[in-house]
Amino acid sequence: MRFAYWSREVAGWVLVAAGLYFFWQSYSLLLNKRVFEAAPVSFIGFIVFRGGIHILKVAVAAQAARALPEVAAQTAGRRVTLATPRAIGPTPAENVLPGPKAGRVAPIES
């Protein structure tokens, strides 16, 4: 089971490195003014790089999931307290509207 985690980790880093290699190839093609050849290479690099990042995320999630039973066993005896609920409703106008708080409008002097 431990090998599956490391194989995902290594595969993810290999794909990230391959994606960076494709980006480097695209950059070198652009330096040689080969724009039409660089576009597909950069697209391939983007896909491979994103695939490597995704596999790395899956490897980290698998490692966290493997450690979950130990964490759950440590917190099994704790009592969970919920926050006190507060009313959900419209906000009073005096808290929203700017101006005098007394409810009177000052006369405009001309």
Domain range annotation of the chain: 2-72
Confidence (pLDDT) at 70: 72
Phi and psi (nearest 5°) for 74?
A: -70, -35
Across the chain, mean pLDDT equals 82
Tell me the average pLDDT across 14-22: 97
Nearest to 50 by CA among 18, 24, 5, 28: 18
Answer whether residue 62 shows pLDDT above 60. yes
More confident residue, 29 or 75: 29
Q: What is the pLDDT of residues 22-34, one digit of tens each?
A: 999 999 999 999 9
Prediction pTM value: 0.61
Band (82; pLDDT cuts 50, 70, 90): confident
